């Protein structure tokens, strides 16, 4: 400790000369980091449905402790598609982190603290806004010392659809694509096509007899809602199968909805 003599005193401030910095202050950040034990954590990614009007889509990034089950988070993100990625990383409780993505239009917030969030509500740590035609993005998570703690190149296109037509880029997963056309599908699909779709889904084993009978007992519009919602909730493969069958049964409407 040393006593500093003031060089100038005014109504608002005091000017002093500091000949050297405290060695304790210089090394405190390093010591604090050594004393703070990192937490085994995970990075989870969820891609939201594309917005046809703005031509934008949202990629949600979660920073969570590693013992949080993916299924628990997915329940809160029913209209989004989980993107599988190597998720393991080590984060420090209450420290600030940033996300960097060259392809992003906007990233919100600019910085966020990592909390030991154990639910039941799981909110995205970051929201990344992207053009709907984006096929791949480079994501990096950095700590407050600009050190990279997680990095991954994310493929946003659906492999099954990309193999069918590699020359034409696809935007979003099958589930998100069905979500984006839900209202148009409900308003336009015919009753005969709906019945054939139910038969195909039953034959594929995607739905059971009870689910098919329940859908058939409804009006055309309600039947369409039940078909698309029921299939979306069953995941990527079921959604992809519905798109494929719909494309074969009604090519014209499928093209209008940009599902072909």
Domain residue ranges in the chain: 6-35, 39-155, 181-256
Averaging pLDDT over each range in 68-77, 80-89, 99-108, 163-172, which range is the top one? 99-108
Range of lowest pLDDT (127-136, 172-181, 221-230): 172-181
DSSP reduced 3-state for 236: helix
Mean pLDDT of 87-115: 94
Q: How far is CA 203 from the centre of its chain?
A: 32
At 205, phi and psi to the nearest 5?
85, 15
The C-alpha angle 200, 206, 208, rounded to 5 degrees, equals 90
Per-residue pLDDT reduced to its tens digit, 110-125: 999 998 888 788 899 9
Asked, colleague to colleague, whether 39-155 and 181-256 share their fold, the answer is no
* pLDDT tens, residue by residue, 158-202: 443 333 333 333 456 788 888 888 889 999 999 999 999 999 999
Fold category of 39-155 in CATH: Immunoglobulin-like (2.60.40)
Q: How long a stretch of residues is the chain?
A: 260
**The predicted structure's pLDDT at residue 99:** 97
pLDDT of 25 above 70? no
Cα separation values, 126 from 64, 110, 122, 148, 168, Å: 12, 8, 12, 16, 30
Query: What per-residue confidence (pLDDT) applies to 1?
Result: 66
Q: Which of the residue ranges 39-43, 104-108, 179-183, 194-198 would you say has the lowest mean pLDDT?
A: 179-183
- What's the rounded mean pLDDT across residues 28-48? 77
Q: Which residue(s) pair with 150 in the sheet?
A: 141
Q: Does domain 181-256 have CATH number 1.10.533.10?
A: yes
The pLDDT of 7-23, averaged and rounded, is 79
Mean per-residue pLDDT of the chain: 85
Residues 206-231: what's their mean pLDDT?
92
- The three-class DSSP label of residue 87 is coil
pLDDT of 97 > 60? The answer is yes
Distance of alpha carbon 124 from alpha carbon 59, whole angstroms? 10
Looking at residue 258, the DSSP 8-state letter turns out to be T
pLDDT number for residue 27: 61
Give the model's pLDDT for residue 160. Answer: 35
Separation CA 199–CA 55 (nearest Å): 34
The string of DSSP codes covering 141-203 is EEETTS-EEEEEEEE-S-HHHHHH-TTS---S-HHHHHHHTHHHHHHH--HHHHHHHHHHHHH
**pLDDT value at position 162?**
36
pLDDT > 90: what percent of the chain? 48
């Amino acid at each position: 400790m040393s006593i500093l003599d003031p060089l100038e005193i005014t109504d608002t401030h005091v000017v002093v000369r500091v000949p050297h910095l405290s060695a304790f202050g210089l090394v405190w950040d390093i010591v604090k980091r050594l004393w703070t034990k990192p937490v085994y954590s995970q990075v989870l990614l969820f891609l939201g449905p594309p917005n046809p009007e703005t031509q934008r889509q949202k990629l949600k990034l979660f920073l969570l402790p590693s013992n949080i089950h993916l299924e628990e988070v997915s329940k809160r993100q029913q209209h989004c598609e989980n993107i599988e990625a190597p998720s393991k990383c080590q984060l420090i409780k209450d420290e600030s982190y940033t996300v960097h993505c060259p392809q992003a239009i906007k990233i919100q917030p600019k910085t966020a603290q990592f909390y030991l969030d154990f639910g039941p509500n799981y909110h995205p740590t970051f929201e990344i806004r992207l053009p709907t035609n984006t096929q791949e993005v480079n994501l990096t998570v950095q700590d407050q010392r600009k050190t990279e703690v997680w990095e991954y190149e994310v493929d946003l296109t659906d492999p099954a659809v990309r193999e069918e037509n590699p020359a034409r880029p696809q935007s979003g997963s099958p589930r998100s694509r069905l979500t984006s056309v839900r209202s148009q599908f409900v308003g336009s699909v015919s009753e005969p096509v709906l019945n054939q779709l139910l038969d195909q889904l039953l034959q594929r084993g995607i739905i059971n007899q009870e689910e098919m009978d329940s859908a058939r007992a409804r009006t055309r519009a309600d039947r369409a809602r039940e078909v698309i919602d029921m299939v979306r909730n069953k995941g990527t493969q079921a959604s992809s199968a519905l798109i494929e069958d719909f494309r074969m049964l009604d090519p014209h409407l499928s093209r209008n909805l940009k599902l072909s």
